[in-house]
Amino acid sequence: MSIDPAEARPQRRRSTRIDDVAQQAGVSTATVDRVLNGRPGVRAVTVQRVLKAAGEIGYVIDEAQPASALRPWRLAFLLPAGSNRFLGMLGRLIGGSQAQLASFNMRARVDTIESFKPELLAQHLKKIGREVDGIAFMALEHPTVREAVDSLAERGVPAVTLISDIANTRRVAYVGLDNRSAGRTAGYLIARFIGARPAKVAMIAGSLSYRAHEEREMGFLHLFEDLFPAIQVVGLREGHDEEARNYRQTKTLLAQHPDLAGIYNIGGGPEGIARALKEAGRQHEVVFVGHGLTPDTRSLLIEGAMDAVITQNPQAAMMDCVSIFANLRAGRLATQGIERPRTEIVLRENLP
């Protein structure tokens, strides 16, 4: 008996159509048509649901409509204003990367607000959430900020925390260092520079309202408790990332502890610490470790006022945020294909 070759092949189910996508996503065919043709009027959360449904049932979006025809996603990066050089560098990098972002069919703006004010941060999150499709921001640990992030999620606007995370919210991802590990790394560097002897070290933070700074502090303290109990941590001061305030805090520390052997700058404003050490003639005696490779910290490393800088690549941080939003738009898991940024240790002798 002869067999028709067509019958021998597995039967393919009928072609997937727009109404199949609509049924899978629980929306109308008109909504699916608007999403696939990049027309406005569809909430970001619905766009994500339609694209995810299309992928789940095998609707090949690229054959129906190229991705470039979808309306560009509008992103906002919300960063603290002030004198933190690393954050300023990150903001300028984002602002100058519009052509690169366009290749992902995205546009981005950079908004800055006064630092260390959680109520103000929460207000801005809610405000710009009405104007964009996704937000990346440096979080402050506070109930009003948590409520703002969750309200964004309710409206279908995904939020990514950048550099500093926030607990117990519906943010979609965190992009930044393992800050507890970073604090331990700073402690280990200082302890190895000091050597095997009793000594005193101190910390200066921007603000412990940032979870990143709190976690760095905890990692730093635990490192000495675990491995170097002969080294005493004599206190934590807040400098709000301001050069002048860090200068005053360092002057006070040196006056209270003339035998101080190390300083860990958890946040920004390293120039103020370096200036106080130089005025005291102790810039080559007190081990000084901080965060964020910038032109200023590079100069301090070269002249020997700083001993090490713990940093992350700002370009990689920006692109990780973009990749997360691209994943969400395509209906994939937010962090699919994204690795946690690596902690980089920069010394004078290995400056990039």
Mapped onto helix, strand or coil, the DSSP state of residue 160 is: strand
- More reliable by pLDDT, 13 or 238: 238
How do residues 3-31 score in pLDDT, each as one tens digit? 444 444 333 333 457 888 888 889 888 88
Q: Identify whether the C-beta of residue 224 lies closer than 8 Å to the C-beta of residue 183.
A: no
- Domain at 179-311: CATH code: 3.40.50.2300
How do residues 126-137 score in pLDDT, each as one tens digit? 999 999 999 999
pLDDT of residue 243 exceeding 60, the answer is yes
pLDDT of residue 56 exceeding 80, the answer is no
What is the pLDDT, as a whole number, of residue 321? 97
CA distances from 215 to 87, 181, 187, 211, 268 (A): 19, 8, 13, 6, 16
**End-to-end Cα, the chain, rounded Å:** 74
Architecture of domain 73-176+314-341: 3-Layer(aba) Sandwich (3.40)
- The 3-class SS string of 207-247 reads CCCCHHHHHHHHHHHHHHHHHCCCEEEEEEEECCCCHHHHH
Residue 61's pLDDT band (cuts 50, 70, 90): low
Domain ranges of the chain: 16-69, 73-176+314-341, 179-311
% the chain with pLDDT above 90: 74
Determine whether domain 16-69 maps to CATH 3.40.50.300. Answer: no
CA 337 – CA 315 distance, rounded (Å):
17
pTM: 0.81
